[in-house]
């Protein structure tokens, strides 16, 4: 029997086959969870976003695949009303959503435009609070929410720029939401994943250098995979983590503990 057998929940943030959210969903499915998915509303007639998410999730037997614009409260509320109508109460929610306009992300943080900053914070941070608020009435006691963050919100990572500010805010939002929703028996945690090759990562400057730095300097001398994030997410959503909330769980081969780059390949005798 799987770790999440009998549990039902929503995964938000799948963009394509290589998304971290996709690997997370596949792991949750293998562990026995019933799943539903959101997709970014399409603006044209070709429905590309919907088609991509349906194609990626077709073998996961989704209970629902529906659009959700996380910048609009009424859209979020309508989405979770659909979820409740289709799936009944749910046990978990995975938030894997982040965005910043490219022109604001590529340059120095202090050069970000006011509009770009507002957009990045709205989608990358505030949306967690908005979806938690909308999902809350439909979540079972003991339920869990997991968001995706990054070490660039704790320390300066060259090239991460504006998104680092957004992740710092997201980390704080996780802690405050955990304190408040804990009164209702709900847990809120985040996973701080090492760099993974995704569509979103391609927008981050010096991403290839970042991969090399992690492989060279992390205690395990390795980069992570999206499947590693999926495994950690399954744990946080499971009853094994029932007393864990407000936590930022680092899945980065230990990179976050290092004060400087590794300089020796051997242990002292």
Write the DSSP symbol of residue 124: I
Q: Any catalytic annotation for residue 160?
A: yes
Whole-number pLDDT of residue 213: 75
DSSP 8-class letter at 41: P
Active site residue 126: no
Cα Rg of the chain (Å, integer) = 18
Residue 110: other Cβ atoms inside 10 A: 7
**Residue 262, in any domain of the structure:** no
63-85 pLDDT, tens digit per residue, is: 999 999 999 999 999 999 999 99
Which alpha helices (H) appear in 61-141, and where do they start and end?
A: 73-87, 102-106, 114-121, 127-135
1 domain-assigned: no
Instruction: Give the CATH number for residue 29.
Output: 3.40.50.720
Which residue out of 99, 138, 150, 214 is catalytically annotated?
150
Residue 265 lies in a domain: no
- Total residues belonging to the chain: 269
**Under the phi-then-psi rule, with left for phi > 0, alpha for psi from -120 to 50, and beta for the rest, what region is 174?**
alpha
Determine, yes or no, domain membership for 264: no
Q: Domain tally for the chain?
A: 1
Residue written as tokens 């051997």? 266
Q: Tell me the mean pLDDT per 10 residues along the chain, length 269.
A: 96 95 98 98 83 97 98 98 98 98 96 98 98 98 98 92 97 98 98 80 59 82 94 98 98 90 57
Query: Tokens 């979020």 correspond to what residue?
Result: 76
Q: Which of 99, 160, 214, 255 is catalytic?
A: 160
> What pLDDT sits at residue 265?
59
């Amino acid at each position: 029997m799987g770790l999440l057998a009998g549990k039902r929940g929503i995964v938000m943030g799948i963009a394509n086959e290589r998304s971290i959210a996709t690997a997370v969903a596949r792991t949750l499915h293998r562990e026995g969870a019933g799943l539903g998915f959101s997709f970014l509303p399409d603006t044209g007639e070709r429905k590309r976003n919907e088609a991509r998410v349906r194609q990626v999730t077709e073998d996961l037997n989704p209970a629902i695949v529906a659009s959700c614009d996380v910048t609009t409260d009424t859209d979020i509320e309508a989405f979770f009303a659909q979820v409740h109508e289709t799936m009944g109460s749910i046990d978990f929610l995975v938030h894997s959503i982040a965005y910043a306009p490219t022109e604001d992300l590529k340059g120095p943080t202090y050069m970000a435009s006011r509009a770009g900053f507002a957009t990045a914070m709205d989608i990358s941070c505030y949306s967690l609070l908005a979806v938690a608020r909308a999902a809350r009435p439909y979540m079972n006691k003991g339920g869990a929410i997991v968001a995706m963050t990054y070490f660039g919100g704790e320390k300066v990572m060259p090239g991460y720029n504006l998104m680092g500010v957004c992740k710092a805010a997201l980390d704080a939002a996780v802690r405050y939401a955990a304190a408040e929703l804990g009164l209702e028996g709900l847990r809120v945690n985040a996973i701080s994943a090492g760099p993974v090759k995704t569509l979103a990562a391609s927008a981050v400057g010096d991403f290839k250098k970042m991969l090399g730095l992690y492989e060279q300097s992390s205690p395990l001398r390795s980069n992570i995979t999206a499947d590693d994030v999926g495994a950690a997410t399954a744990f946080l959503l499971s009853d094994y983590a029932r007393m864990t909330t407000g936590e930022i769980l680092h899945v980065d081969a230990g990179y976050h503990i290092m004060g400087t780059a590794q300089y020796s390949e051997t242990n002292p005798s």
